[in-house]
Amino acid sequence: MTTLETSNISKYFSLVRISHTIFSLPFALIGFFLAFKFVGGNFPIRSLFLVLLSVFFARNAAMGFNRYADREFDKKNPRTALREIPRAIIKPKSAMLFVILNAGLFILCTYFLNLLCLFLSPLALLVVLGYSLTKRFTALSHVFLGLGLSLAPIGAYLAITARFDLLPLLFSFMVIFWVAGFDILYALLDIEFDKSENLKSLPVFLGKRNALVLSGIFHSITLILVVVAGWLGQFHLIYWIGAILFALLLLYEHVIVKPSDISRVNLTFTTLNGAASVLYACFVIADLLLY
């Protein structure tokens, strides 16, 4: 703990890009409010607090391990060379200690939720930490990232209900294809570096143009799942307004990113996808609470 205590905690927040929690947290809240809608009763404020902490700690562990595992690649890549570990702002041993601490706190949170969440917590950690190694052996690493983030809605739902149901699973599948789609776009920035280091990605495997087509297919599947979830959940007008906004933002991503011009990939990765997840979640939750 000494190393952590003598370092500014903001450096660790920078290490794990705490702002990127905006991708998983809105869907975790969707899962939570779905469960609250179905279970009813008094609002479970304690469970909400534990769910938020679980998302926070799991994501810290996952991103911290990603930075630790990729530290040698990050040193070589001009786009990532200024990250905390390559610049020696944070030592690799300290980063791993941060990962272990957050993984332990995540498991502790699941202990206070229910036994099912506790029993599944090692599997969840295996998925979210394992993603960081996938680029070494499969071009489907983007799908593994989506799988990791997809645990947010179903995990939050399990925290309240301790059972699996179809609707929250649909939201989880939605996250898989949404995240895989925009991560393919983000991987376009590193296509030449990945080739030089024999790292796997769909842009490397398919080329820019075909990777963009596949990203569009993944996002089309996402939108189909949005419609299916809206129909199955018997949502109302508020939900469908949010669904339309979500669809428009995804469509705009594919308008502004082209094989010949990937200069606005960073805009699509954080700004557009962050706005899409927050807006969609707000409308879904509003529909759940108002009807």
Q: Which domains does the chain have, with CATH numbers?
A: 9-290 (1.10.357.140)
Q: Please report, as a single letter, which amino acid is at residue 277.
A: S
Does residue 3 have a pLDDT over 70? no
Q: Are 246 and 280 in contact (CB under 8 A)?
A: yes
Q: What value does the mean pLDDT take over residues 9-19?
A: 81
Per-residue confidence band for 2, with pLDDT thresholds at 50, 70 and 90? very low
In the chain, pLDDT over 90 holds for what percent of residues? 85
Question: Exposed, middle or buried: residue 88 (CB in 10 Å: 0-12, 13-18, 19+)?
Answer: exposed
Asked whether the predicted pLDDT for residue 7 surpasses 60, the reply is: no
Banded pLDDT at 5 (limits 50, 70, 90): very low
- Angle (CA) 163-53-20 rounded to 5° is 105
DSSP 270: I
Q: Please tell me the least confidently modeled range out of 13-17, 133-137, 187-191, 195-199.
A: 13-17
- Kindly report the length of the chain: 291
Block residue for tokens 């562990």:
61
Residue 180: burial class (beta carbons within 10 Å; 0-12, 13-18, 19+) = buried
Q: Give the tens place of pLDDT for each residue, 88-137.
A: 999 999 999 999 999 999 999 999 999 999 999 999 999 999 999 999 99
Question: Which pLDDT belongs to residue 101?
Answer: 96
